[in-house]
Structure formats: C-alpha cells, structure tokens
Structure 1
Amino acid sequence: MSETNETSKTNDFFLGQEPDDLSDFSLSLPDPNDAELAEGQFLAEVDRAWQVCDRFDLQTDIWRGRILRTVRDREKANGKGRGTGFLKWLQEREISKSQAYSWIQLANSADTLMADGQLDSDDIRQFSKRAFLETAQASPEVQQLIVESARNGDKITRREVRQLSDEWTAMSSEHLPEELKEKVAAHTIPTRYVAPLVREIDKLPEAYQAPIKQAIADGTDLDNIKLVTADAQRLTKYLANTNQVQAISQRSVNIDLALEESLRIGCLKLTSDLVSQASQLEQAIGKLYSTWKKISTAADQLYVEAGASTPHLLDLLNSLDSLASQNISVQIGNEQSGRTIRLQISEE
C-alpha cells in the first residue's frame, strides 16, 4: 500500500462515522536475511516504512486530541462537575491527564495552522509526528518556511525543521555581519554552527554582546565561529553562576571588572570554570547538610528505641557514627592508596 493510501484513512474519518476496517494495513518490509540486499538500500526501505507509521500516528493523535477536546468542552458547556466527568472518562480508558492534554495541544496546533490557511489535511501527511510538534512550537516565520516546504511535497522530519529554524535564526539575526550571512546563504558555513552562536548572544545582556560581535567581525571563518561560540557560552555561564554563588554576593564583588580583567589576560575559560565549580560546590554542601541532618535525626531516634536487647542494631548505629556525628569521616579509595576526608559541621 502506498504512503498516500496509508495516511489518507485518517483524513477521511470524521466524528459520527465508523472508521474503515484497518485490518488491511500493511507495509512492505525488506527481508532481513537477504544477503544480496545492500545495507544502504535495506536501511532506506526500513526508514520509509517507519515514516509511514510516524505520519499515520500523527494523524491518529490529532484526532485523539480533537475527541478529548470535545469531551472536555461538553462538560464545560454544561457547567457541571468541574472536570470530574472528563477525568472519569480518562480513567475509564486508562489515559493520564498529562497525555490527554498533550493530545489536545497537538489538535489545537493542527487546527490553528489549518485555520490560518497555512496547512490542509494533505500537507499534514508530509510531517512526522515529532516534526509537527516542533513546527507547532516554532516562531511564525519558521512555521511559514516549513509549511511552504510541505506544500512543495517535501517530507518534513525533525532534521528539516531544525535546519529551517537554524537558517531563519542565522539570516534574521542582527548580531551577525553581512559577510557571515553571505557565507551562510552560500552554504560555505553550515547553519548548525552559526545558529547556536546567535542563540548564545541573545542570552547575554546588551552590554556583554559588544565584545562577542567584535570577535565575530574579526574573523568569519568556521574555526573562529566555533571559538566565539565557546566564549559566548562561557560568558553566559559566568554571568549566571556569579549571581548564584553566595560567597561572591556576600563580598560585593564587581563581577564586571573581574570579567574585564579575565578577558584581558585571556583567562575567561578558567574563570568561568572556577565560578561554575563554586556554584556546584555550594549546592553540594547544601545537599550534604540536608542529608546529614536526616541521618543524624534518624540515628538519634533509633538510639532511643535500641537497648541491651538489640546488640547488633547498636553495632550498626556505632558503625554509622562517623557519618551521623558533627565530625564526618569518609575513606576515599582503598586502604593502601586512598585517603581519609574529614569534615566538621557546625550550625550557626
């Protein structure tokens, strides 16, 4: 059965009608034991079959969402039950609430795109399920590019969605010089390297964007793009982590001047890693304290319940005293080459 015939069944199904018998749903799959079949051809045939199922699944889930929305809206219209009837309907069919609303969201996305005249039922057949979900979440400009591609008969997978999204991100950005945009348009520099750079710049406050833009202008070759992207990512991490580290905020450190000095001596990576590790350490200490408090409390309660009749239980408690007391002791590694780490917890 052809892809068109496979997927058209769901387009012809409307509420109030009995669906066609799907017992004849079949796909032509390659023989896995055919030694004469080239690996590339085998994978291509399997992929085609998978895409048919994916598109059929998309159509089915859109209709599931419409059905669920109909049941939910019926209860809203009656003004009774406050959703209990809808939830009961879901429970009877073993459908979770989160799954139900994900289907409803998919149906809403499909209906919105179709209502705007961007898509029709035939166009939806061109999408894989995941590609359609990503399209529904994309910006209107990217949606238009994807829809045009679908109307032209192109099969839309996540790869195509991401590629078109990256192209729009790169070509519409105000951060990139025209020279770099021309290279992107000419496909001499892949958009998969340029789009992440634009997204990183967008995350930065305007005051921090200037040095990144200057670094791009200094060299629009691929190697420099990769280096600038890495620097932008480190800068984003530096700014995010410096606002989280208590040790920095308590000293009122001028993080802007510290950053300028780090850039001047070429130590942005080292500085960013230092602040990132400091943030992780503070979080680890907080988690350590919370866990230690639970162990200490549980040990104290168990000591009250234990006694002479529970000598083995007392042995267990005594063995954990190095973790439950305020002086924590932990052996790292084996006895020959390892070391003992001691920590003292004091509450103020």
Structure 2
Amino acid sequence: MFKALMLENTDGFKASVTQVDEARLPQGDVTVAMAYSTLNFKDGLAIANKSPVVRQWPMVAGIDGAGTVLESSHPNWRAGDAVVHNGWGVGETHWGCLAEKARLKGDWLIRLPSAFTPRQAMAIGTAGYTAMLCVLALEDHGVKPDAGEVLVTGATGGVGSVAIALLAKLGFTVVAATGKASEEPYLKSLGASSVMDRTTLSAPGKPFQKERWAGVVDAVGSHTLANALAQTRYGGVVAACGLAQGMDLPTTVMPFILRGVTLAGVDSVMAPLVKRQRAWDRLACDLDPALLETMVHEVPLEAAIASAHDLMDGKVRGRVVVRLAV
C-alpha cells in the first residue's frame, strides 16, 4: 500500500489523499519511489475540478515527479537511478506522481541532473522547465540581451518566476507584469528591472500599439497575449505557453505582417526527449539553486489539495513543492 492523491468522479467529483494497493498501479516498465512532486497550473485545475483535465477515472494527480527507480524492465533504467518526470499526459490519462509510488514508461523519464536534488528538480517542475523552453525559443529566434526589454507576464507564478531568474542571469532587461503590487520586492529579487500592473495588458487593446518589447514570455493568453503582441518591436519574438486569463487570442495579423513578429508556441507536455534534455541541461547551468529556494513553498501530500485551491485562487507565489518521502 502507498499514499496517493486520488481524483474520483463516480458519484460526483472527489479529491482525497488515500491508501492505494500497489496492485492497482497502471502498466509501465519503470516503477519509481517518488521523493517529491509539485503543483503546476494544470494540477491545480485537475485537483480543484476547474477544467476537464482528467480523461480517465479514477486518476492519481500529479504531472511531475522526482525519485528513485525501484524496478525497471526498460533498457535505460535500473534500480537506484535518480529520475525526473514531466508531462506526457500523466495525471490526465495515466496515474500521476502525487503519490509515494508511480509506474511510468522509461521513455518518459530523464536522469536527475547532478546539479539538482529531487526537491530542487520539483521546485523547477514543469513550470520551470517550460520557462526554460520559452527562453530557448527567444534565443533560437535571435533575441539577444542588447535587443531591448523582455516582458514576462504572470510574473509571480511558477513559469514567470523562473523565467525572470533565467533571463536576468543571461543579461536581459526584464519587465515583470503582475496584479500583486506587494510582490514587487520579490520580483526584483529574482532579477526584474521593473514591475508593471497587469491591468495595463489584460483589458482589450488596439491591435497595433507602440513598440516596446524585444521578446515576451507569456503564460496568460487572451487579451494579455494580444496586447503583448501589439507592443512587440520589429522582428521581436513572443513565446506563448499558458492560458491563465483564457484560451482565446483576440488579435489581428498586423504584428506579424507589418513588424515581422514571431509567435512561438511552447509545449512542455509532449516535447521530445532531446528538447527536454536540452532544457534541463541549461537549467543546471543557468538557474541559481539559491535563488530557486526563494520561490519555494513546501507542503506534505496531505496539504496538497488545499494548496491546489490556493493556486487556483491566485494565492500562491512561485512554486509549491509536495513532499512524498518520509
């Protein structure tokens, strides 16, 4: 038996931390003893039942996990290996990692970078790994630190916090957009040069506005993304990875055809292994573990449900790490 955060929908939705028989674990070629997991936006949606994230019931929540291999029939893994898991539909169609044990596919795993402990890997989680993918998208499209300001929306969230820290270390001038004015000291401690009120971006705006941003990391979507695009400088790049405000995009083609703006979509869930490995290798080089610690709030598994609701209510700053090992 092992503890897991189980989501059920038989006689109405229910989320609970319960004991689960190991015989119920799904098919997979690697069994992992999970040391830590985390709460990402998608986890919050699933646990708080805010969106139809879960596709099969019952479901163990948790798209991320870090731990040690217990058993493996996969050629790349053996007992004792330290591994990290992100995405791949886990917590949606396959039992997830907010549990003391998980059975996964070896092809989904990457080796825990030596620069990080399992706790630090989950302080990064999908949110931080996505932030790195966004930074790589800006770099790959030619955005350099001397090109001008880079905007980060949803700045106090997991993606935003890590993106600010990464971009600042790489020499970019970062402007953080947030609705939490009291968090300005926190955002500047991560490396933001200035902080702006998100309301200047979140309302409907003109399709073409004064040029400002050389690059954008957007985890918000909707009008915020539309306004960011309308303000992006000639040849600039917007990396879009989230939909906290909404999944709509009320914009026009004008930024693309008159300013040559690139909208780069960033997916972390099904990204191929080579892209994942590149992101984690860069995180190991470019993310300061001490700075990472300032973003982290650790909770036991029993507190994860309440923390998920706090995440959905906008009460969480940075990253929530869920402790699974005793």
Global fold match (TM > 0.5): no
Pick 1 or 2: higher relative contact order, CA cutoff 8 A, min separation 6. Answer: 2
Greater share of helix = 1
Structure index of larger Rg: 1
Q: TM-score, length-normalised on structure 1?
A: 0.23
